[in-house]
Amino acid sequence: MPRLTDFHGLRVYGLDCTLRNPQPLTLRGYYGGWLRGVLGHALFRGNCVYPEPRCAECALRGGCPYPQVFKPHLLPGPDDRLPPYLLHHWNPLPTGLRFSLLLLNPALGYAENWLRQLDRFLPDLEIGGQRGARLSEVRDLASSQVAFHAGQFVPGARLNPLQPPLPAGERLTVQLLTPLVSKHQHADPLWGALRTRLQRLVNAYGDGQPVVPPETAPWRLVAARLQPHTVVQGLDSRRGIRGVRGELELADLTPLGARLLAAGRYLHAGGEATLGFGRYAWAS
């Protein structure tokens, strides 16, 4: 099966993480919100010298994993820089949770630090009103080999870049697995959301070149079966992120379109990808 081996210099690595809890987790709502909260809290507690983030004025920010990975907008430079990580997938277990954390190339060097802090602080963090969860193991998503266990990286383990398959054929059905969040108001909601996110990532972490020429979309939208979807954030039901879910039928897919869809398979489309939004799959 042909795969995408390079996309404008971006490299994506996957951590397949398994959390174990003494009792079944009683979680409600959208898992991406509290997962991002737990990940960010562990990274902050393990690296920051302040009780609250003060990255904009901290002399250590240049080498601190917290702003470098989790809050890059607090660093000097473009204030709209996207974080070099995202939540990709999660699956509840009888006594825990399995999830995928994806890292772009600049975040790879902080992977061990992040996992060590998660292993250290996770038992003290509240998850669904419970404490005591532990990081059972972490596998390399590309090879399924155990990379982190019992608080440390396995000797000789390595993370391999993900190489998503290229779509086959000129006609596809794209299913939005999590809400697609976008400010674009085009007839084709996926095209603008995917193009914008990929270009911003390439500008920040890739070769900086245009991902598409200034022409029409590299596919034709045949049909869109979408429904509005709002995900509540936190305990305040008035706070929510609005997106759409459903299916899109695409035709006349060009080779460039296939590359863009393959890149977005792991990089997602639209906004709020650190919460897992904008994840999709396709079928011919």
pLDDT, greater one: 284 or 262: 262
Q: What is the pLDDT of residue 121?
A: 93
Q: Classify residue 215 by burial, with Cβ atoms within 10 Å: 0-12, 13-18, 19+.
A: exposed
Query: What average pLDDT does this structure show over 141-165?
Result: 93
CATH 3.30.70.1900 region(s) of the chain? 172-283
Q: What is the pLDDT of residue 270?
A: 96
Spell out the alpha helix ranges (H) of 105-206.
111-121, 189-205
Query: What average pLDDT does this structure show over 3-14?
Result: 96
For residue range 21-51, list pLDDT tens digits in order: 888 877 777 889 889 999 999 999 999 888 8
Among all chains, which residue has been given the structure tokens 């509005």?
Answer: 228
Handedness of CA 230, 235, 237, 239 (dihedral sign): negative
Query: What average pLDDT does this structure show over 184-213?
Result: 92
For residue range 217-237, list pLDDT tens digits in order: 899 999 999 999 888 865 445
Reported CATH class of domain 172-283? alpha beta
pLDDT over 60 (residue 75): yes
Q: Classify residue 93 by burial, with Cβ atoms within 10 Å: 0-12, 13-18, 19+.
A: middle
Q: Which residues contact 156 (CB under 8 A, 6 or more apart)?
A: none
Among all chains, which residue has been given the structure tokens 């820089």?
Answer: 81
For residue range 47-66, list pLDDT tens digits in order: 988 888 888 888 888 889 99
Reported CATH class of domain 12-153? alpha beta
pLDDT, greater one: 3 or 73: 3
d(CA 17, CA 147): 10
pLDDT over 90 (residue 184): no
